[in-house]
Chain A
Amino acid sequence: MSQFLPSPVTWPRLRASRLYCILLIIGVLCGGSCLLRASVALPALVTSDLDPKLKGHVLIEELKCAACHPAEAAVGERSKTAPRLAAIGSRVNPDYVQSLLLDPQAVHPGTTMPDVLSHLPAAEKSEVATALTHFLFSRQENDFSLRVPDAVAAGHGHRLFQARGCTACHSPRDASGVEVADAAFVPMGALERKYSFDSLVRFLRDPHASRPSGRMPDMRLPGQDLERIAHFLLQNTRVPGALGYTLYRGKVWEGLGSDEVKPERSGQVQDFNLKSLDDVHHHSAVVYTGWINLAAAGKYTFFLTLNGGSVQVDETVILEQAPSDRRGVKQLEAATELAAGRHRLSITYFHTGHEPSFSCELAGPQHARQPVPSSWLSASDEVIPVLAPLPVDAGLAARGREYFGKFGCASCHDDLGVSSLPAPALAGLDASRGCLSQERGPWPAFDLDDSQRELVARALPEASRLELDDRQKLEKSMVTFNCGACHERKGLSSLSPDRKALFTGSQPALGDQGRVPPPLSDAGAKLTKEWLRDVLLHGQRQRDYLDASMPQFGEANVGHLIDLFGQVDTLEAATLPPAPNILESKEAGYEMTGTTGFGCIACHTFNGQKSGEVSALDITQLPRRLQKNWFHLYMREPTRFHPTVIMPNYWPDGRSTRPTILGGDTTQQIEALWAYLEDGPRARKPLGLSRESNELRVGDVTEVCRGQSAAGYRGIAAGYPERLNLAFDSGEMALRQLWKGEFASVDYGSFSARGTDHISFPPGVPFHRLQSLEDNWPYKGKTNYSFPQDHGYQFRGYHLDASRRPSWLYQFGDISVQDYFEDVRDAKDQAYFKRTLRFDAPAGQLPFYFRAATGQTIVTHSEREFSSDRLRLRITSDHRGLVRPGDPGEVLILLSPPEGRSTLTLEYQW
């Protein structure tokens, strides 16, 4: 393993290793592309330091010996589940299935699928393989079809294939898609023979649907990443078409070589009609390439309508416009003498005006000026056959079904309602015969190498009565799922520098820790069970700066690891201080975290906000992830757990570098940090925490920002600790927006809501004396200059309570209003707003309406409870609501405040 990074190699570099005997064949089956013949590839067996005895058991389980050879149920349960074949008709190319059946290792090097037909004579083998294929494609949809790869997306996909961590298990590939690394990777072969773009994306989106074994994990990538990776892996797919194109965006008038111009997408179209390209935005260029087949020799004239562009036939540029000329729509023509036959054609169109305008016509010796017919054009100079669905022959399919049982396929692929006869029981098998021998016979041929055979042979006698302790169980599972491809673990796996070099990240200042997934040594003593569960089963992660994603293997496959980690990994108990004064402790933790203490926030993100250049792990998330005991041990000596850790030791030799805090007591100080950070995102913001970020985060108190926004120029937003947010329009004194989650992005004089579940309210004041229910609710029109003061309104500001929740203050005529929102949780722990409007009124107020909610769909649950679209509104004081239909509909509450203080209370839940 000397070089993994993609390099311009056109031939796979192959090397025999201790365990892998790799044969190279030129695959006649593969349409001329080269494939390698390999033995069964289980890289973790090579790279890990697992006990060899256990490696044998891993092999027995991965090869599914117990599928044919009856054994204790436990062996079967531990064994891999074979791919589900029910929906193969839309997933896999039928040619590939047939080829794979004929020679699995040649077509999918390293596959654990055995050759079950190896003993048959060639003709019979071919007949059986065909029948099996017809059987498989007779099951459900048989609609496998190809799509032209997008070379631009493939370029991005190449980067993502490595960055997202695919190359932790699969060989890195060069730009042309050829696997460049040697043995210790899971080879995939030429995927364009197997998958279509659609089927590969579908597979990557939910690999466990067809492969419930979880050996291929769900990488939980965004759809665009998956599609780009699929375009990369399938870049050699060939589909017939008339013209290839690449669409560029940017300052195209500077030429396509400019840094300011980026390719956007590529593909194939049938003609030069721009409409075939979907949206062509301005500042675009299209490069068409293809071959034109001319029936007769003679003078050919191209007629072009365009802003700018060029035409090249074979090696000759027959028309080109200087960049400065590429403005305005022009009619151009260029003539050239061409021989009959095929000519390479390249036409570039620069779209620099407002409306795209392009046409390409051709006049020749045998025809007048006309658009170039698609039938003359070909995207490739080779003839590419159209892929037709396999015409399933019912007779063949029926025979295939028999073969599927007869040759044991159904033993592993047990989802098709076919069964196979069992083989001799696993216990008492003779390792020198049958599958494990090198003989060919009526048994599956596994292409094991000698050492693999030996591992199985040694493990076989005890396979049926295997007793493993927790550590063995844990380590065996970690090898089965190749955890060591990313994570080091003492005694089990380590990453060579070459392999580490494959990982990338966005925080170079963090060194390897900013690129390489974290080690799992002592993981069970370090991480809380809840966090392990979140990571293993819900894809949670804290290290956003790692490009690699945390794969998901499925609860059925790795759920047992959560407990095993805790049972296996134990560390000594740290010295904890005698019960400290919790308030004093938190205060000290607050002090130590800020810039006047240890300055933790100089490197660590705090509740999503970073202060320095580095953004190491968010420390408000620590108590969610870490066990307290480990925190104490780690803080005392970080290098014990991470020899190259960047974090300094603040208590060298157990003595604090801040002797004035808590009397300089080391354990008290570490405990204080823990006590402080235990409040998580609600921990008080430490001193020196940067406010430079445009994102305003809410901690333990309400945050306020104001300015131009969706709530008007005089909008004020308040973000509450329960992750509820609102925007109040201080111009019209009305609630304008509610949302949940992240608070706001702030800029100079403006803000915008972040988060989710946004609810907007239309413009207009809160109270109004409607003369009739037909009257419009008043709001400020463009020339309503004195509004809403002319309706008696006057904004008076806001006061903050102890948690800095604002009470909005305003006048409505003679009535003083205090309008207070409180973020509270209900019995089900759901946060909602409680709103209290306090009126201080002189005597003799005429009644008026309060508009409590508006929406397209308002449902009345009772006279005190309404649903307005997604918002649930409850009146909890002695008032009643009424619904006024309209666009939008309104929930109005009639108010008639008595002299003195009165109160209206509401709840907003959404």
Chain B
Amino acid sequence: MVSIRQAAVAAMVFVPVLQAQEDLGAMWGTAAEEAKYYPLVDIPIPPGVPMRPGGFENLDDGRLAVSTRRGDIYFVKGAFETPPVPEYHLFSSGQDETFSLSWKDGAMTATSWGEVTRIADVDGDGVADRYDTLTNNWGYGEGHEFAFASKHDPEGNIWVALGLSGSYESNNLFRGWAVKVTPEGKMIPVCSGLRSPGGVGANAEGAMFVIESQGPWNGSCSLKHLKEGGFLGHPASYNWYPYAPGLTRPALEPRSDSRMGVEKKRVKELVPPAVRFPYIKMGRSISGFRLNTTGGQFGPFENQIFLGDYSLSVILRATTEQINGVWQGACYPFREGLATGIMNVEFSPRGQLIAGGFTTNSQWPVRGTEPFALQRIDWNGVMPFEIKEINITTNGFRITFTEPVDPQVAARPEVYGITTCTHVYDAGYGSPEVDQTTAIVTRAVPAIDGLSVSITLEKLIEDHIYEFDLTNVRSHEDRRLVHSNAYYTVNEIPKP
């Protein structure tokens, strides 16, 4: 019932003890199986380095850059070796808490609470000496007013998502908005309606997305599309349209105690979340994410989004597709059992997934027990049997697997356990799962190569999350799926 941003500032705010004892849910129980394909590697941190990792980036010279809550940026050599032999070099210090890094043209663009800064070492001594502020033109004057940013987009812009004041109100300029910052330092407001965003980044098609947290107007955590001119669901930030030239305040406000599927038809600017992450089942405080473009070095999940979860210390996957002009997609469990609260992830040039984060010294619940950690997930080349991706079709879904399925099993409709639900779209905090249905699979047709199955449902319901239970699917070698669940958010149904 809390966001990742709340987690990160929990040291500063009073958190009632009762909340701290909230249940983090059961483990998936898949860690041992996951480890057969994706072993976890610890990257040691020497004593004396105040390493509370917030953001990552790859440098041209093969080093890993890590930004910290303390406002330092370390350049780490040897983090990708096996075993890792890291050497930490302090590149810059003295910034505010920094959760986003992007390296371009010999300089590091770092986004901290108050600004986007281009940090460079001009005199060549290995330590930064120029801190050029690209913009600090958003309001910053209260707790929780986090700023998370993307890598440079193809035009060189940095997209920044700005959390609400205290995570509820919008008391300072552009709180609850996403903005983009040009290489010249011009700040362009993009869309309103954010609550307490986390990581920002592009999907394989280059569309920009943000992680959003469960809370008011957000039934669950989600991945949202930063649609230019869009309204992303939380109306507290409506008040800044007069400061956003070229953008018009939506004529209507969303109604509480409604459904996203209903309100998006009323409020035409409303952009429904692309992928919703059912609470606890798929994380509790999802955080930074990164697109896997490692050319297969990380296994079968190329061009998919990988993201961490702060509270549950897990890594999840997500896929997106655009249907009728609206982004939607699915999320999948990937790896559990990380050492600490995961704030961010990054793919190394060798196709390893770097993950890191910290816990806070308040009672904030985090499953991982380390106060801070840098870890790496390597693919060892062994192919897991996994749901690779789920795509919607006009009358059902196509489920793609990483290994051929047993076609006889996969052709049986009763193998596919599919239930649906949605959330209340409401000003209250979070939402239970409501409007549950059980989908009826009328047909299941495996492809010739066995790598996918097209299933036909009796009907498809808009605004519902489809929960897949494929426990009974077997591979052609009679293996069980490492993870048998996946969750597809249906915003739109493809027109035939």
A residues apposed to B, CB below 8 Å: 595, 611-612, 688-692, 703-707, 712-714, 716, 730-731, 746-750, 785-786, 789, 794-800, 802, 804, 806, 809
Contact present for B93 and A704 (CB under 8 Å) = yes
Within 8 Å by CB of B243, from A713, A748, A786, A795, lies A786
Residue of A nearest to B52 (CB): A748
Q: Please name the residue on chain B nearest to A693 by beta carbon.
A: B50
A796–B137 alpha-carbon span in the complex (Å) = 11
Flag if B140 contacts A714 (CB, 8 Å): yes
A691 interface neighbour in B48, B133, B243, Cβ under 8 Å:
B48
User: How far, in whole Å, are A795 and B129 apart by their CA atoms in the complex?
Assistant: 17
A9 to B417, CA, bound (A): 81
**Least distance between B76 CB and chain A CB atoms (Å):** 15
**Is B49's beta carbon under 8 Å from chain A?**
yes
How far is B95's CA from A749's CA once the two chains are assembled, in angstroms? 8
Q: Which of B47, B123, B132, B140 contacts A713 (CB 8 A)?
A: B140
Shortest CB-to-CB span from B360 to chain A, Å, is 9
Given the interface pairs A748-B70, A749-B12, the reply to whether A800 lies near B115 with Cβ below 8 Å is no
Contact of B173 among A703, A714, A716, A785 (CB under 8 A): A785
Verify if B227 is at the interface (C-beta below 8 Å from A).
no
User: Does residue B168 face the partner (Cβ distance < 8 Å to A)?
Assistant: no
In the bound complex, do residue A691 and residue B173 qualify as a contact, i.e. CB atoms below 8 Å apart? Answer: no
Known contacts A706-B96, A707-B96; decide if A714 and B50 are in contact (CB<8 Å). Answer: no
A748, A794, A802: residue with the most chain B Cβ atoms closer than 10 Å:
A748
Contact of B114 among A595, A688, A713, A747 (CB under 8 A): A713
A611 touches B131 (CB 8 A): no
A sample of 23 inter-chain contacts (CB < 8 A) reads A611-B48, A690-B47, A691-B49, A691-B70, A692-B48, A692-B50, A706-B94, A706-B95, A707-B96, A712-B141, A713-B142, A714-B114, A714-B140, A716-B94, A749-B96, A750-B12, A785-B172, A797-B117, A798-B131, A799-B129, A800-B130, A800-B131, A802-B123
- Residue picked from A706, A730, A794, most chain B C-beta under 10 Å: A706
Task: Tell me the complex Cα distance, A797–B72, Å.
Answer: 16
Q: Which residues of B contact A730 (CB under 8 A)?
A: 114-115, 133, 136
Asked if B368 CB lies within 8 Å of chain A CBs, one says: no
- Chain A residue numbers with a CB within 8 Å of B50 are 690-692
Q: Are B47 and A703 in touch, CB under 8 angstroms?
A: no
B243 and A785 within 8 A (CB): yes
Contact with A along B1-14 (1 / 0, CB 8 A): 00000000101100
Q: With A and B bound together, what is the CA distance between A802 and B139 in angstroms?
A: 33
Question: What residues of chain B lie closer than 8 Å to A795, measured between beta carbons?
Answer: 115, 133, 136
Q: Which residues of B contact A714 (CB under 8 A)?
A: 114-115, 136, 140
Is B113 close to A, CB under 8 A?
yes
**Smallest distance from the beta carbon of A661 to chain B beta carbons, Å?**
19
A167 to B95, CA, bound (A): 50
- In angstroms, Cα B71 to Cα A612, docked, is 22
Contact of B131 among A612, A747, A797 (CB under 8 A): A797
In the assembled complex, the Cα of A612 lies from the Cα of B128 at a distance in Å of 27
Contact assessment for A800 and B129 in the assembled complex, using a CB-CB cutoff below 8 Å:
yes
Bound-complex Cα distance A706 to B118 (A):
16
Q: Mark B85-109, 1 if CB is under 8 A from A, else 0.
A: 0000010011111000000000000
Q: Which of A688, A716, A802 contacts B48 (CB 8 A)?
A: A688
Q: B224 in the interface, Cβ–Cβ < 8 Å?
A: no
Contacts A749-B12, A797-B130 given; indicate if A611 touches B136 (C-beta within 8 A).
no
Minimum Cβ distance to chain B for residue A492 (Å): 42
Check B46 for interface membership: any CB of A closer than 8 A. Answer: yes
Closest 7 CB pairs of A and B: A690-B48, A704-B94, A797-B133, A748-B69, A800-B129, A797-B132, A785-B173
Given contacts A691-B49, A692-B49, 20 further A-B contacts (CB under 8 A): A611-B48, A612-B47, A690-B48, A691-B90, A691-B93, A692-B50, A703-B94, A705-B71, A706-B94, A707-B71, A713-B140, A749-B12, A785-B139, A785-B172, A785-B173, A786-B173, A795-B115, A795-B133, A797-B133, A800-B130
Q: Are B136 and A731 in contact (CB under 8 A)?
A: yes
In the assembled complex, which residues on chain A have CB atoms less than 8 Å from the CB atom of B118? Answer: 797
A747 to B95, CA, bound (A): 11
Contacts of B97 in A (CB 8 A): 707, 748-749
Contacts of B131 in A (CB 8 A): 797-800, 806
Residues of chain A contacted by B132 (CB below 8 angstroms): 796-797, 809
Nearest Cβ in chain A — how far from B428, in angstroms?
28
Measured CB to CB, the nearest residue on chain A to B97 is: A749
Query: B94, A796: Cβ atoms under 8 Å?
Result: no
Chain B residues closer than 8 Å to A712, beta-carbon distance: 141
By beta carbon, the residue of chain A nearest B46 is A688
Q: Which of B47, B118, B123, B130 has the most CB of A within 10 A?
A: B47
B113 contacts across to A, CB distance below 8 A: 707, 713, 749
Cβ distance B124 to chain A, nearest Cβ, rounded Å: 12
Give the CA-CA distance A804 to B92 in the complex, in Å.
Answer: 11
> In the assembled complex, how far is the CB of residue B339 from the closest CB belonging to chain A, in whole angstroms?
18
Question: How far, in Å, is B74 (CB) from chain A's closest CB?
Answer: 10
Distance of B187 from chain A, by nearest CB (Å): 10
Residue with the greatest number of chain B CB neighbours at <10 A, chosen from A611, A749, A785: A749
CA distance A689 to B46 in the complex (A): 11
Residues of B within 8 A of A705 (CB): 71, 93-94
What's the least CB distance linking B115 to chain A, in Å? 7
Output the nearest chain A residue to B146 by Cβ-Cβ distance.
A749
B335 to chain A, nearest CB (A): 27
Contacting residues, chain B, for A786 (C-beta < 8 A): 173, 243
Q: For the complex, give the distance between the alpha carbons of A704 and B48 in Å.
A: 19
A-chain residues with CB within 8 Å of residue B128 when the two chains form the complex: 800
Chain A residues positioned under 8 Å from B12 (CB to CB): 748-750
Chain B nearest CB: distance from A804 CB in Å? 7
Chain B nearest CB, measured from A261 CB (Å): 20
Q: Which of B50, B94, B117, B128 has the most CB of A within 10 A?
A: B94
Q: How far apart sit A419 and B414, CA to CA, in the bound complex (Å)?
A: 119
Assembly CA distance A795 to B135 (angstroms): 7
Kindly report which residue of chain A lies nearest to residue B89, judged by CB atoms: A687
Report the minimum CB–CB distance from B395 to chain A (whole Å). 50
1/0 per residue B278-307: CB within 8 Å of A?
A: 000000000000000000000000000000
B9 touches A749 (CB 8 A): yes
| Bound form: Cα–Cα A795–B130 in Å | 14
Q: Give Cα distance in the complex from A79 to B137, angstroms.
A: 76
Interface string of B35-56 (1 = CB under 8 A from A): 0000000000011111010000
Q: Which residues of A sit under 8 angstroms from B142, Cβ to Cβ?
A: 713
Contacts of A703 in B (CB 8 A): 93-94
Is B173 a contact of A689 with CB atoms below 8 Å? no
Compute how far the CA of A470 lies from the CA of B71 in the bound complex, rounded to whole angstroms.
58
Q: Which residue of A lies closest to B123 (CB)?
A: A802
Q: How far is the CB of B426 from chain A (nearest CB, A)?
A: 28
Contact B69 A749 (CB under 8 A): yes
Nearest chain B residue, comparing its CB with the CB of A704: B94
Please indicate the chain B residues that have their CB under 8 angstroms from the CB of A731 in the complex. Answer: 114, 136, 140
**B117 proximity list for chain A (CB < 8 A):** 797
B239 and chain A: residue at smallest CB distance: A785
CB neighbours of A797 from chain B (8 A): 117-118, 130-133
Q: How far is the CB of B374 from the nearest CB of chain A, in Å?
A: 16
Q: Are A611 and B129 in contact (CB under 8 A)?
A: no
Q: Which residues of A contact B46 (CB under 8 A)?
A: 595, 688
A233 to B132, CA, bound (A): 63
CA–CA, A690 and B140, complex, Å: 31
B296 to chain A, nearest CB (A): 38
* Docked complex Cα distance between A707 and B69 (Å): 11
Q: In the docked arrangement, what's the CA distance between A771 and B16, Å?
A: 51
A595 to B130, CA, bound (A): 28
Residues of B near A747 (CB, < 8 A) are 11
In the complex, what's the smallest C-beta–C-beta distance from A174 to chain B, in angstroms? 41
CA distance A749 to B54 in the complex (A): 12
User: Which residue from chain A places its CB closest to the CB of B171 in the assembled complex?
Assistant: A782
Which B residue's beta carbon lies closest to that of A613?
A: B47
Contact A789/B130 with A704-B93, A714-B115 known, Cβ cut-off 8 Å: no
| Distance from B283 Cβ to chain A, minimum over Cβ atoms (Å) | 23
